[in-house]
Amino acid sequence: MTEVVLALDLPRADDALAFLDRIPAVTWVKVGSILMTREGPALIRSLVGRGLKVFLDLKWHDIPNTVAGAVASARDIGVQMATVHTLGGRAMLDAAVLAAGGELNLIGVTVLTSFDAASYGRAVGRPDVALPQEVERLGVLALDAGLRGVVCSAKEVSLLHRRLGPEPYLVVPGIRGKADPHEDQTRVASARDAAKNGATHLVVGRPVLQADDPAEALGALFKEVECIGS
């Protein structure tokens, strides 16, 4: 069963906790760099104390020792899943996996969903890059290093599901309904399509956070992916 992860892209801890009081059905939450920078580990402890599974999405990309220390700190405060950037290279990924100690699920970020082929090519200095092949290359690197899975867009999830098999986590952001604006996301899909193509976790923020009835919006997402296995 595909899991739905609510992205707590809200300005403060009080806002996030009050919002969660309105949607008791949520089981997974994502904390990103803005909220984590403002509120710190105390928020993570509060969320874990509520029985929630916490996905810490800080996309660590640094020297191996620094990333290993960050992973160990996340593990110690009860984070269940966290991101490292695959472009950090094999030595960094190896150090992160060692620090996780089998207690924290590490997920490798491949290509951000805000990129299209042209903008990614400019960023890495390879004008002819093909995004699906780049995502596949980085996904294989992540799994070879022992990561639990990868982050990819819904456009590549079917490819990775075939290439990597059914066991790795395939975490897909950029989930949008037909009427939802794409905003800064370029490669998006519906929850049903992403789940059908192999996503194990769907990260959803604005379609729930900005809904008139957040509980109803979350419930609709649950129904959309119901009975669709990965």
Query: Where do the domains of the chain lie, and which CATH numbers do they carry?
Result: 3-225 (3.20.20.70)
pLDDT in tens, the chain (230 residues): 899 999 999 999 999 999 999 999 999 999 999 999 999 999 999 999 999 999 999 999 999 999 999 999 999 999 999 999 999 999 999 999 999 999 999 999 999 888 889 999 999 999 889 999 999 999 999 999 999 999 998 889 999 999 999 999 999 998 865 555 545 555 567 888 889 999 999 999 989 999 999 999 999 999 988 755 43
Catalytic annotation on 196?
A: no
Model pLDDT, residue 178:
53
Which helix (DSSP H) or strand (DSSP E) does residue 29 occupy? strand 28-32
Model pLDDT, residue 176:
62
Model pLDDT, residue 182:
45
Catalytic residue among 30, 59, 155, 196: 59
Model pLDDT, residue 179:
52
Compute the distance between CA of residue 154 and CA of residue 170 in angstroms, rounded to an integer. Answer: 9
Strand 81-85 with 3-7, pairing: unpaired
Tokens (6 digits) for 62: 């640094």
Compute the distance between CA of residue 50 and CA of residue 137 in angstroms, rounded to an integer. Answer: 38
| Helix 131-144 / helix 90-100 crossing angle, nearest 10 deg | 50
